[in-house]
Amino acid sequence: MVVLDATVVNVALHDIRGALHFSTAGLSWVINAYTLSFGGLLLLGARAGDLLGRRRAFLGGVSVFTLASLAGGLASGPAELLIARAVQGAGGAFAAPSALALLMTMFPEARERTRAIGLYTAVSVGGAAVGLIAGGMLAEWASWRWVFFVNVPVGLVLVALAGRVLLETPRRDGQFDVAGAAASTLGMAALVYGFVSAA
């Protein structure tokens, strides 16, 4: 879901621009807001899994991602959509590292673990390709809003299943480096903003 969303929106950008009256430079931030918050908060998300428990971090990340997807689909202006995209990225940053860590916990034997990681990798790579196709189909046959709404039922199913199937991992002592994550994310955002503005 997290990987798919990185590409599914690309195909719908033309429709989003017309519906929400984005400028050319502003439209690029529909992608950048997601990518920057995801990349900037990824290490913090992994740390959250260590400190809070990986199932808890995964469920929290998927829940935030799902709610942000709903908000993105309901957006009535550029600012609302960009905020929703940034929050989506943050949710993904907490869910993704915990998902892989939970696989390692669920499959302790080397052979089973190798298969699980292989399947995880295949789904991740396939999700990027499927996102382009799904985005085009949803934008053409329904509305650009459905590239966001499609995440809602998937997220709800994931939360329901994960709460029953996944086992919690032990918590560890330590602290969050919130300041470092915020500084790196804002720094990257400022750098990208400079390039976009100059283009």
What is the 3 state secondary structure string of 160-183? Answer: HHHHHHCCCCCCCCCCCCHHHHHH
CA separation for the pair 193, 26 (Å, rounded): 10
Place of tokens 């503005």: 197
pLDDT at res. 128: 64
Mean pLDDT of 35-40: 85
Q: Look at 198 and 39; give whichever has higher pLDDT.
A: 39
Place of tokens 């942000």: 68
Query: For 154-194, how does the pLDDT look when each residue is reduced to its tens digit (9 = 90+)?
Result: 999 999 988 787 766 667 777 777 787 778 777 777 776 67
Mean pLDDT of 14-35: 90
Q: How many helices (H) and strands (E) does the chain have?
A: 10, 0
Mean pLDDT of 41-54: 86
Query: For 63-103, how does the pLDDT look when each residue is reduced to its tens digit (9 = 90+)?
Result: 999 999 999 999 999 999 999 999 999 999 999 888 888 87
Q: Where are the domains of the chain?
A: 2-198
- The CATH topology of domain 2-198 is Growth Hormone; Chain: A; (1.20.1250)
Query: For 104-150, how does the pLDDT look when each residue is reduced to its tens digit (9 = 90+)?
Result: 777 777 777 788 777 777 776 666 667 667 777 877 788 899 999 98
pLDDT at res. 153: 93
pLDDT at res. 125: 65
